[in-house]
């Protein structure tokens, strides 16, 4: 079973909310909703690998390395 954690960030790059899901589609929908609410959100898997993001990544978070 996969586990996905979605984190919503404000424009200063501070984590505002996070949610964990076991379903990738629900995690994607959660990521989109958080980005609309906070400005940026990203989803990571159980091992911290990037699974997706929405919104404008705050400069304070730096550039994502894939």
18-29 tens-digit pLDDT: 999 999 999 999
* CB neighbourhood size of 53 (10 A): 20
Q: Which residues contact 65 (CB under 8 A, 6 or more apart)?
A: none
Dist CA 30 CA 12 (whole Å):
20
Dist CA 8 CA 14 (whole Å):
8
Q: Would you call 13 exposed, middle or buried from its count of C-beta atoms within 10 A (0-12, 13-18, 19+)?
A: middle
What's the predicted TM-score (pTM) here?
Answer: 0.91
Q: Which band of pLDDT confidence, cut at 50, 70 and 90, is reported for residue 38?
A: very high
Res 25: pLDDT:
95
Q: Which residues share a beta bridge with 18? A: 7
Q: Does the pLDDT of residue 55 top 90, yes or no?
A: yes
Res 65: pLDDT:
75
Please state, rounded to an integer, the average pLDDT across all residues of the chain.
Answer: 94
């Amino acid at each position: 079973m996969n586990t996905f954690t979605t984190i919503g960030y404000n424009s200063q790059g501070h984590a505002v909310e996070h949610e964990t899901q076991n379903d990738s589609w629900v995690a994607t929908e959660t990521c989109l909703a958080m980005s609309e609410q906070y400005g940026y959100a990203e989803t990571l898997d159980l091992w911290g690998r990037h699974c997706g993001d929405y919104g404008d990544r705050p400069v304070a978070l730096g550039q994502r390395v894939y």
